[in-house]
Amino acid sequence: MYSEDDFIQLSALQHYLFCERQCYLIHREMIWQDNLFTAEGNVMHERADEQKLSRSGPDIKTETALYICSRTLGLAGKADVVEFHKEGNSWIPFPVEYKRGKPKENRCDEVQLCAQALCLEEMLSVSVKQGAFFYGKTRRRVYVDFDDILRDLTKDICEKVHLLLKQEKASAPIYSKEKCDACSLKACCIPQICGKSAIKYIDEIMGEK
Ligand code: SF4
């Protein structure tokens, strides 16, 4: 069991799977900068908060911007939308995350959604079997089953993030054009310079490798 002082944010899991250094800079060194991608993401979250994208009906109740946590995993954060689906006499939580873009090839979004399910299960003592994403680009829901493999992966990433954030300093950046060019922290991280000697960097930009 973790104490509240040791809780990490839900978003740290996704940041970790994107880049360990980004996770450390955001969640340990408290560095944050918006770029186009994060600004678009913020708009999606605001729209979710305003319930413009969520469902409701006699068998579905919806809560937005719901604070959730798990003492077992040491996690806390805000769920965009949690629908409660009526099943018999029970209302079963069904987390929905709003994302810019389209479904990713890696599992970082799914891990974040599964972490929400694990928090809801612990808080409400219910089983949460499924959730969904609404992607801004495709304007469609993608359903996610919280199977054992995804649950184990999520718990494993949680432990790794807790260990990472106990480190005294960030690891050196590993430059990847695809990731770093999309990263809002590129200007602070300076991945093409940090982690290598000044002479090597000058050699590279002078084309003398
Ligand atoms: S710029 Fe690249 S190495 Fe640096 S935090 Fe972002 S993704 Fe990670």
pLDDT per residue as tens digits for the range 58-81 = 899 999 999 999 999 999 999 989
Domains of the chain, with CATH numbers? 4-168 (3.90.320.10), 172-209 (no CATH)
- What is the predicted pLDDT for the residue at 58? 83
- What is the predicted pLDDT for the residue at 171? 87
The alpha carbon torsion through 196, 35, 66, 80 (nearest 10 deg) reads -110
Q: Is the distance from CB of 142 to CB of 109 less than 8 angstroms?
A: no
**Separation of CA 123 and ligand 1 centre (Å):** 34
Name the residue of 15, 22, 178 to mutate for ligand 1: max ligand atoms within 8 A of Cβ: 22
pLDDT per residue as tens digits for the range 152-173 = 999 999 999 999 999 999 888 9
15 lines ligand 1 (CB under 6 A): no
- Higher-pLDDT residue of 73 and 44 is 73
